[in-house]
Structure 1
Amino acid sequence: MASTPTAQDTLAAEFAAHRSHLIGVAYRLTGTRADAEDAVQESWLRLAGLDDAGRAAIRDLRGWLTTVVGRICLDRLKSAAAQRERYVGNWLPEPVVTPFGQPVSEDPLDIAVRDDGLRMAALVVLDKLTPEQRVAFVLHDAFSVPFAEIADALGVSADAARQYASRGRKALADADPAPRVPLEDQAKLLEKFLIALQAGDVRAMTELLAPDVVLIGDSNGKGRTARQLILGPDKIARFFIGLTRMYAPGVLAGGTPVLVNGDLGVYLAPQPGEDGFLTLDEHVQSFTVRDGKVAAIYDLVNPDKLARITRPAASPS
């Protein structure tokens, strides 16, 4: 005989219906999978801890949970700011890696990164905002949370919340992160770039790079990548050509195509160093394309940020 669901069971089912949405909110706010999942779990604990009167006062559960997650993420962003001061080199969001050319899993975060606002280029810009600007902008512009509720989450007036969102919106507009282009266009460009790299053709590589192209590496000192930003087509092309002389032939151009936050990227498996060549660390590289050229390259090597990625299946030998 089936048991009758309890009030807690019903509440848990209602929460589960919003979980994918909340994961997307939290990841967009924090840029890390662990913080996103922790924030969502904490929002459940806060909901479950309410008494009957507290639950009855919630008119819109999705909106209430979204605001609670925003408040939790605000605290995490503030504590992360202090941690970033000790970070070695540049900081990039934790990548969400999914297979290329295969059905996307039903993992909430895999679903969330189909959203254009969760591509790496957009998250990099969001990371430059203050915690208050990021929370206000994301909650209002992406998820239509009223400023009165955002103000409550931030502990400020509604006018101040509106100002934070406005500044975040302006920063995003000024940075103008490239919108996502069709994957087939990305694939054609990446193939040309890798062919030029393998051939050591600096000129062909520079023609595929935008005039203001930037390469950003993230390792926290735990892997080999660029510690400083590399700007401009010629410098980036020569940087990659130099790397091909340090690693075994074909290794850098032999990565596996993957999706990184919904855009085309490359997964490089770790390789031992042999015959005088360097050991290759595990890499996830993502690319932003604008006007038919590569506008940004993100090279993630920090093992802490790659610990939970979905790795491509090994090719049969």
Structure 2
Amino acid sequence: MNATDTFVAHRNLLFTVAYEMLGSAADAEDVLQETWLRWADVDLAEVREERAYLVRITTRLALNRLRTMKRRKEAYVGPWLPEPLLTTPDVAENVELAESVSMALMLVLETLAPTERAVFVLREVFDFGYDEIAAAVGKTPAAVRQIAHRARRHVDARRPRETVSARETRAVLESFQRALESRDLQGLLDVLAPDVVLMSDGGGVKQAVPRPVTGADRLARLVLGGIAKNDAALTTEATVVNGNPALTLRLDGELDGVMAVRVEGGRITGLYYVRNPQKLTRVESETPLTLR
């Protein structure tokens, strides 16, 4: 294959790597553009393993961007949530991939240092060897092993304690949806865990809660109060975002935001509501993701 064919063959993988490292599809696309420019200048006769070489370029560029994004996030208005993606059905069917791009786990990855995040993603999600990861992040294989161990321990302490099936998540989300549309306070309280946390991302463009809201009663009353104040008609629709069941919310037919959830023990423990219009460009057309 020539350079173009090789890049196209691995494009979905490279996008997935960049997205899992950055949490932003727009930035992942920028990284892919830069990856292509670097790849186009490579002498293919010198490349032994094209897939690994391309992932190495993407990882290095994503790491550079991740460090600059840190400054952007510090200046961001309110909580920062990953950019939601409408995903293809095969993503939801791949339990490992669906978990790795879930809003809940992506937020855990936000708590890692840039190199830790790169190592965790390449090792735990994409199953790259320590030597390959070392070449990508500019560390020794021994150092990468240590980083991987530290990152895994950090993530395991914060990730959801149980793996919940898409069917169970969908059932819980349907109960939440019914309670929301019927303005049923008790129905919301029944489906929300006592220590549920709401995070809302308006990016300073749309109104959002300025900091996380904790507690079922407080959250339910806040949500219902917000709906009551708004004259627009609210409609909700089931969708699949980042490989997991989610809701799109519309006001008078106009897309208002996407709500993803974290479900544990049959109740919602995390609600993630993205309203920032700049982050809603990929929720109405599917984005293919892959681990291979």
TM-score computed with the length of structure 1 as normaliser? 0.81
- Which of 3, 6, 12 lines up with 1:11 in the alignment? 3
Query: Distance between the aligned counterparts of 2:45 and 2:162, measured in 1?
Result: 42
Which letter maps to 1:45? L
**179-188 or 136-145: bigger deviation:** 179-188
Paired residue for 2:61?
72
Paired residue for 2:24?
32
Larger Rg over CA atoms:
1
Which letter maps to 1:181? V
- Which of 177, 182, 193 lines up with 2:165 in the alignment? 182
User: Any conservation in 2 of the 1:222–1:302 contact (CA below 8 Å)?
Assistant: yes
Paired residue for 1:208?
191
Query: Distance between the aligned counterparts of 2:280 and 2:95, measured in 1?
Result: 18
1:49 corresponds to 2:68: no
Paired residue for 1:297?
271
- Which of 194, 200, 212 lines up with 1:229 in the alignment? 212
Residues 216-269 of structure 1: CA distance to partner in whole angstroms, max 9, x if unpaired?
111121112211101121211111121122123751xx2122111121211123
User: Any conservation in 2 of the 1:270–1:282 contact (CA below 8 Å)?
Assistant: yes
Paired residue for 1:255?
236
User: Any conservation in 1 of the 2:181–2:236 contact (CA below 8 Å)?
Assistant: no
1:287 corresponds to 2:287: no
User: Any conservation in 2 of the 1:113–1:262 contact (CA below 8 Å)?
Assistant: no
Paired residue for 2:289?
none
CA pair 270-203 structure 1, distance change in 2 beyond 3 A: closer
User: Any conservation in 2 of the 1:21–1:112 contact (CA below 8 Å)?
Assistant: no
Instruction: State the 1:122 CA deviation.
Output: 1.1
Instruction: State the 1:210 CA deviation.
Output: 1.9
Give the secondary-structure state (helix, strand or coil) at the position aligned to 1:91: coil
Q: Structure 1 stretches of 5 or more lacking a match? A: 1-8, 99-103, 273-279, 313-317
Residues 59-84 of structure 1: CA distance to partner in whole angstroms, max 9, x if unpaired?
21111211221111100100000111
Q: Structure 2 stretches of 5 or more lacking a match? A: 287-292
Which letter maps to 1:50? V
CA pair 205-115 structure 1, distance change in 2 beyond 3 A: closer
Instruction: State the 1:281 CA deviation.
Output: 7.2
1:118 corresponds to 2:110: no
Instruction: State the 1:179 CA deviation.
Output: 5.7
CA pair 113-300 structure 1, distance change in 2 beyond 3 A: farther
- Which of 83, 101, 107 lines up with 2:72 in the alignment? 83
Which letter maps to 1:13? D
Query: Distance between the aligned counterparts of 1:137 and 1:183, measured in 2?
Result: 24
CA pair 114-144 structure 1, distance change in 2 beyond 3 A: closer
Any runs of at least 4 consecutive aligned residues in structure 1 with deviations exceeding 3 A, and if so which?
111-115, 178-184, 197-201
TM-score computed with the length of structure 2 as normaliser? 0.87
Show the 5 A alignment for 1:103-182.
104=88, 115-177=98-160, 181-182=164-165
Paired residue for 2:12?
20
Flag the structure with more relative contact order, 1 or 2, with Cα contacts below 8 A and sequence separation at least 6: 2
Give the secondary-structure state (helix, strand or coil) at the position aligned to 2:2: helix
User: Any conservation in 1 of the 2:176–2:188 contact (CA below 8 Å)?
Assistant: yes
Residues 30-80 of structure 1: CA distance to partner in whole angstroms, max 9, x if unpaired?
1111221222232222222023xxx23322111121122111110010000
